[in-house]
Amino acid sequence: MVFRCVTGGIQQMRFCYGHRRFTLYPQSVDSWNLNPDNYTGDFLKRTKDIGFDALEVGVEVLSQLGTERKVKDFSSKLNDAGLVVGCVRAGGTLHDAQNGPQNRAKLTNAIKYGGWAGAEVVNSAISAPARHPGHPPGSLPGSQSGWAVSQDASRDAMLYVYDELTTVFQNACLMASDAGIDITVEVHQNSPVDNSWSALLLYEKVDRDNFGINPDIGNVLWNYDVPEESFDEAIDKLAPVAKYWHCKNLYTVYHPENNRSVFVRVPLPDGEIDYRYAMSAMHNAGYSGYMTIEGASAGDQWHNDAKSITYAKKIWDDLES
């Protein structure tokens, strides 16, 4: 993500690591099932060495620490390595009866832990597990990305869904304001906020200074077999309301006979989304958050993610010059 610190006319960009693989020999751990001890000194040092300034940490990790003292000690451990907790990742649908109550509690906890850890952002992607797993493609909306239908999509949502979400996020913003935390909603496949118009609708309804959008245009690509909108147009519309920014890139393999696409995750310079254009749009909008690189999910994460951050830093330098 892009944070702007203006010194003598130079705008400094800060980068946050949204690792999606968590491997450094002899440790190889599922990124979605971590505990605080997995953040070893070697892992933190390598993260700093390839150029990151912060880490995105899941609320599940911080909840295992539990107390304010332990969360602050964890944050200090990152500080000693030259890093900070940039964002606490929450997430999960907030408006359905089955999952909403527990995910609202998760959001509340993320704000509490984020305040203790000194995080700037709590980010939420409001998508749900599949409610109809294994259905024939096209027969029912599904939560697996890349089909012609999408569970909980904005194109099927009623206005009352956004009214309900507005109340949830206004309450979250009130709680977060005391800790100096911003609340963001991620543009995410299989959710009511999955493109630019739905993100802008929710942003305008919440109408709080510490509320913004995470314009993850990678998820616009990921959502349907054929994207709903141009990535360039989406980032142009969302850059002015962004407070956090997930960045990833993909290649699409389209199977029109099946109304299906599959996606190959690649480093930022190698996919279909033009991140030079996207970063230019964010720079032009005066964006002041983190640029969070969602890292490789397979292969050598350190090689692939170093490639992504080196590319992004070069573009920022070009924009500044």
| pLDDT band (50, 70, 90) for residue 201 | very high
Q: CA 147, CA 7: separation in Å to the nearest integer? A: 47
Distances (CA, A) of 56 to 78, 122, 132, 293: 11, 9, 31, 10
pLDDT tens digit sequence for 136-179: 666 788 888 899 999 999 999 999 999 999 999 999 999 999 99
Amino acid at 226: V
Whole-number mean pLDDT of the chain? 94
Q: What is the domain count for the chain?
A: 1
pLDDT, residue 11, reads: 56
| pLDDT band (50, 70, 90) for residue 288 | confident
pLDDT tens digit sequence for 90-148: 999 999 999 999 999 999 999 999 999 999 999 999 998 888 887 766 678 888 889 99
Distances (CA, A) of 19 to 45, 67, 101, 146, 155: 14, 25, 28, 23, 31
Q: Identify the CATH number of the domain in which residue 171 sits.
A: 3.20.20.150
- Burial tier of 96 (Cβ tally within 10 Å: 0-12, 13-18, 19+): middle
pLDDT tens digit sequence for 63-73: 999 899 999 99
pLDDT, residue 138, reads: 66
pLDDT, residue 144, reads: 84
Tokens representing 287?
A: 């964006």
Percent of the chain topping pLDDT 90: 88
Evaluate the omega torsion of the peptide bond into residue 26 and state whether it is cis, within 30 degrees of 0.
yes
| Mean pLDDT in residue range 198-223 | 98
| Mean pLDDT in residue range 285-297 | 95
| Mean pLDDT in residue range 256-261 | 93
| Mean pLDDT in residue range 255-275 | 96
Range of the domain at 175: 5-320
| pLDDT band (50, 70, 90) for residue 42 | very high
With a CB cutoff of 8 Å and minimum separation 6, the contacts of 243 are 121, 182, 184, 210, 211, 212, 213, 214, 289
Q: CA 101, CA 37: separation in Å to the nearest integer? A: 29
pTM of the model: 0.95
Amino acid at 189: Q
Is the pLDDT at 1 greater than 50, yes or no? no
Is the pLDDT at 199 greater than 60, yes or no? yes
Phi, psi of 268 (to 5 degrees): -55, -40
